[in-house]
Amino acid sequence: MRKWMIAASLLALALSAPAQAQDRALHKAVAADYRANLAALFDHFHQNPELSGREVNTSARMAQELRALGYEVTTGVGGTGVVAILRNGPGPTVMLRADMDGLPLEERSGVPNPSHVRQTDMARVEQPVMHACGHDVHITAMVGTARQLAARRSRWHGTLILIVQPAEETVSGARAMLADGLYTRFPKPDYAVAFHVMAQLEAGRIDIPETNVASSSDMVTIQVRGVGTHGAFPHLGVDPVLVASQIVVSLQSMVGRTIGPLQPAVISVGSIHGGVKSNIIPDRVDLALTVRADTPEVRRQLLDGIDRVARGTAIAMGVPETLLPIVTRSATETTPATINDPATARRVRAAVAGAMGADRVVETPRQGMGAEDFAYFVTPESGVKGVYFNVGGTPREQLATAPGHHSPLFRISPEASVTAGVEAMVAAAEALLQRR
């Protein structure tokens, strides 16, 4: 028995040696590609961000880059989405995804290549635009990943699909691509993989959770109605400002007293608008909320609770039946939680650790309840097994002061982030693209 174990160990070492040599080759190839191509490409994308659903130039550039690498490219999927296919014989089908939209923020990050772009959004309002969530890293790494996988076809078998997705920031682009035939017009994947650069994770580190990666997200508006009157005679009207204020407080009480204390749940009121003058009680106040949960059950509790709290608070404060609040759940800014397939996540983690070194793969607690519409690609109904992971973007010595995502101060280290993203995506794809 002991002799058999020793022989097996020696065989494993023999088989691993070429792989390790090839992994070192991958690291060198990605580093060289960054210097030759990806650094300039990242600068281009960072300086030229585009808003959700308006990513016309970004889409065109990505299509150009992927065609040049020999991929079959289709544009205009779900709006500005891009689908690129590389076929390499029989085997699994793996889809890699990168999102490409920026945010309506004026950049104040202090980087040497800032965005000065302004663009008209889907509502025809001109906005400043910034890559304040790292999507420029994602699409740059997608090109690097495409180049390496095309060059390393001897190491994998099957069909590789790369998608460049619009409108992630409005959590609507994934559904738009699916509605436009992503899983019917093109080969349906067995696996789907994506990553997000994280400012709160050390640059170059990879975090691959086994289960929950991101929360569900729902945008909800509440139109609080009242009866306007003079500010000096409040008894002659019904003050919607007071009603709205009580609703905001009661929503937080609902989270604290109706949701289990070990269940993640968030209701944040991000916008309150009402009134035009200090001495006029208005007849309407508008609230806009974001609602986050990790399970379908808590999600339903929160959404149903908002209806109950808004109506009940208004009734308790004397709002007439004909003027009770109108609660609207967005049909577009909504997504379920993103949950990794545990077995596939373990498989990808082992591959990334083998390719990049075990010290590069870390386990970190979630720091918030961010959302991701990647969830739509890997719903239980779809049968597609998904893995979504995080790539660190900030040097260790700067972690304590790193601005968060969606901040005009947001910044990451491009080289460490892009190259780590490429290496991890290549390792993940090659691990999954093996003959059954």
The CATH number for 292's domain is 3.30.70.360
Q: What is the CATH number of the domain that holds 207?
A: 3.40.630.10
Same domain (yes/no): 363, 347: yes
Residue-number span of the structural domain to which 168 is assigned: 19-215+337-432
Between CA 150 and CA 173 the distance in angstroms is: 27
pLDDT for res 7: 41
Same domain (yes/no): 192, 240: no
pLDDT for res 23: 83
Same domain (yes/no): 168, 224: no
168 is catalytic: yes
Same domain (yes/no): 293, 150: no
Structural domain count of the chain: 2
pLDDT for res 88: 98
Q: Where a domain ends, among 313, 335, 357? A: 335
Give which of 269, 281, 207, 272 is closest to 240, Cα–Cα. Answer: 281
- Has residue 373 been placed in a domain? yes
Give me the catalytic one of 33, 101, 202, 218: 101
Same domain (yes/no): 254, 277: yes
Same domain (yes/no): 357, 396: yes
pLDDT for res 321: 96
Provide the residue-wise pLDDT of the chain in tens; the chain has 436 residues: 444 444 444 334 333 444 454 589 999 999 999 999 999 999 999 999 999 999 999 999 999 999 999 999 999 999 999 999 999 999 999 999 999 999 999 999 999 999 999 999 999 999 999 999 999 999 999 999 999 999 999 999 999 999 999 999 999 999 999 999 999 999 999 999 999 999 999 999 999 999 999 999 999 999 999 999 999 999 999 999 999 999 999 999 999 999 999 999 999 999 999 999 999 999 999 999 999 999 999 999 999 999 999 999 999 999 999 999 999 999 999 999 999 999 999 999 999 999 999 999 999 988 889 999 999 999 999 999 999 999 999 999 999 999 999 999 999 999 999 999 999 999 999 999 998 7
Q: Is 162 helix (H, G, I), strand (E, B) or coil?
A: strand
Between CA 99 and CA 155 the distance in angstroms is: 26
Rounded to 5 degrees, what are φ and ψ at 72?
A: -80, 120
Q: Where a domain ends, among 281, 301, 335? A: 335
- Has residue 159 been placed in a domain? yes
- Has residue 5 been placed in a domain? no
pTM: 0.89
Q: What would the two tokens of residue 158 be?
A: 């099957």
Give which of 225, 231, 221 is closest to 284, Cα–Cα. Answer: 225
- Has residue 211 been placed in a domain? yes
**Could you tell me if 134 and 393 are in contact, meaning their C-beta atoms sit under 8 angstroms apart?**
yes
- Has residue 181 been placed in a domain? yes
Same domain (yes/no): 29, 115: yes
- Has residue 426 been placed in a domain? yes
Give me the catalytic one of 168, 207, 239, 294: 168
Q: Taking CA 85 as the corner, what is the angle to CA 80 and CA 91, rounded to the nearest 5 degrees?
A: 140
Cα dihedral 245→249→254→259 (10° resolution): 130
Q: Where a domain ends, among 301, 316, 335? A: 335
Same domain (yes/no): 182, 59: yes
- Has residue 13 been placed in a domain? no
Same domain (yes/no): 202, 57: yes
Same domain (yes/no): 46, 144: yes
Give which of 211, 233, 186, 152 is closest to 344, Cα–Cα. Answer: 211
**Could you tell me if 264 and 213 are in contact, meaning their C-beta atoms sit under 8 angstroms apart?**
no
Same domain (yes/no): 189, 289: no
Same domain (yes/no): 221, 181: no
Mark 419-433 as b/e (b = at least 16 C-beta within 10 Å).
bbbbbbbbbbbbbbb
- Has residue 2 been placed in a domain? no
